Amino acid sequence: MWKLSYSMAEIADTLQLSNEANARKIKYRCHLALMEYLEKNPGMVKQLKDVL
């Protein structure tokens, strides 16, 4: 939803989170987790770079 330009307030509302800060925190954690996964998997990074 963040990538589709929904505001943090809209994300919090849709996911029934208590507030925007929670939505921001979740976005941060998930995005960081994805980046860390990519960092640990250089093979996948190479494949993705070829495709994307």
Partner 1 sequence: MKIENYYDRIDQYHTGELSDNDSKNFERELNSNEELRQAEELYRLSLNVLDYGVEENLRKDLKNWAAEGKDTAKGGRIISLRSMIVVLSAAASVLLLIFFAAPYFMPQPSPSELFATYYQTPEASNLRGGSVPQNAINAAKKALAEESYADAVEDLAKIPSGDPLYIEAQFYLGHAMIGLNNLPAAKNAFELVAASTEVKFQEKGEWNYLLVCLKADQWNDICEAKLTTIAQDADHSFSAQAKELLKKMK
The residue ranges that bind partner 1 (CB under 8 A) are: 3-4, 15-19, 21-22, 28, 30-39, 44-45, 47-49, 51-52
Q: Smallest distance, Å, CB 43 to partner 1? A: 10
Q: Smallest distance, Å, CB 38 to partner 1? A: 5
| Residue corresponding to tokens 């029934």 | 16
3-state class (DSSP) for residue 9: helix
23 class by beta-carbon count within 10 Å (0-12 exposed, 13-18 middle, 19+ buried):
buried
Whichever of 10 and 37 has its CB closer to partner 1, that residue is 37
